[in-house]
Amino acid sequence: MRFTNSLGISAARCGIVCAALLCATRFLATAAQPGTAQTKQQTSRKAVATSTWSKYDCGDGVELRVSAASASQGSLLLVEVRSGKPLTAVAGSWTDKDIPFWQANAAAAKGTYRWRAFLGLDLELAAGEYKLSVSGKSDAGEAVACAATIGVRAGKFATEKLTVAPNFVEPNPEQLAKAQEDGRKLREIFATVTPETLWTGRFRVPLDGVKTGGNFGKRRVLNGHPNSPHTGVDFPAPTGTPVHAAQRGRVVLAELLYYSGNTVVVDHGWGVYTLYGHFSEIDVKSGEMVDSGAILGKVGATGRVTGPHLHWGLTVDRARVNALQIVALGKELAAE
């Protein structure tokens, strides 16, 4: 494998100096070097708007950008590879996962090619530093490789004590078998990556006129027993309130699950799934394509609940993250 930096010096030829100086930025740009290349442009209004991005030089006119150099458990980051030339086979890896990239086509027209990926920091990923590695190939078949170190901070999740129907804390064997089968089905869905961008632009909150919800990541004690953390965002609303798809996608599950009640899961492509739980009524079928804003069902109180509400979950490459963060990335996604 031969690597060449932006000055045209190959790593093999320039030896130890290169290894110490050039190759350090070429092969492993770490979080200690975010936002290098402070230029006049960065003080312009446009640059200020993107100044929170951490940038890492991969050489050969290729740059890796990450929407934040550190974030807390349950966060969603956006990762971008920018290049003046076309690249192929752009791929990433993070912890034990492959991170799929899609090409953000609109930008290619301006002479900059951009590939993007979501990076989900699972709400139970241990706090620490993790390496994100990205690779690709140039037209000439040369390898491009780069890495960033991303800090994961412990989330500040409160503990909550709730009382629910006893069968949701100590299910009988039949109920337990159903719950386990549901879990197996969901894990299989979330492990599947559809290599297609089914969404277009921004994601929305599934209830009209609602901007925020709560309970994400809360550690829960149910009827006195410690339980698993809460993986979604809850929106209390009257039974019958229409629930809309957060974006375009394919319905891959529309059925009654033991804990989340009447549930719909939408596949948006590239490992991005939204889950909607506790419906009183489901209005879509598995396999159906839905547009952003399509009515998936109505708010209800089915499954393990203390009252009518929408439970909204977001899973990205099997990482359980705060769904509101994909809404917050709206401006970036709208620009694609």
Buried-state track 185-220, b at ≥16 Cβ within 10 A, e below 16:
ebeeebeebbeebbbeebbbbbbeeeeebebbbbeb
CB of 159 to Zn ion, least distance (A): 15
Window contacting Zn ion (CB under 5 A); options: 24-32, 134-142, 203-211, 224-232: 224-232
Torsion of CA 286, 77, 191, 213, to 10 degrees: -50
CB of 122 to Zn ion, least distance (A): 17
Q: Which of 60, 63, 182, 234 binds Zn ion (CB under 5 A)?
A: 234
Number of residues located near Zn ion, criterion CB under 5 A = 3
Nearer to Zn ion, 229 or 232 (CB): 232
Nearer to Zn ion, 75 or 215 (CB): 215
**List of residues 6+ apart from 133 with CB closer than 8 A:** 92, 93, 94, 145, 146, 147
* Binding of residue 232 to Zn ion (CB under 5 A): yes
Letters for 297-336 (x = contact with Zn ion by CB under 5 A, - = none) are: --------------x-------------------------
Nearer to Zn ion, 64 or 253 (CB): 253
Nearest residue by C-beta to Zn ion?
Answer: 311
Nearer to Zn ion, 15 or 238 (CB): 238
> CB-based burial of residue 88 (10 Å sphere; 0-12 exposed, 13-18 middle, 19+ buried)?
exposed
Nearer to Zn ion, 234 or 317 (CB): 234
Window contacting Zn ion (CB under 5 A); options: 40-48, 112-120, 159-167, 234-242: 234-242
The helix/strand/coil state of 1 is: coil
Q: Is the dihedral of CA 48, 50, 55, 61 positive or negative?
A: negative
The dihedral region occupied by 224, where left means phi > 0, alpha psi between -120 and 50, and beta the remainder, is: left
CB of 51 to Zn ion, least distance (A): 35
Q: Token digits for 298?
A: 């109505």
CB of 307 to Zn ion, least distance (A): 11
CB of 215 to Zn ion, least distance (A): 6
Of 184, 212, 189, the closest CA to residue 272 belongs to 189
**How far apart (Å, rounded) are the C-alpha atoms in residues 84 and 43?**
23
Q: Token digits for 161?
A: 């004590």
Letters for 79-118 (x = contact with Zn ion by CB under 5 A, - = none) are: ----------------------------------------
CB of 314 to Zn ion, least distance (A): 12
Nearer to Zn ion, 116 or 278 (CB): 278
Binding residues for Zn ion, rule: CB under 5 A, are 232, 234, 311
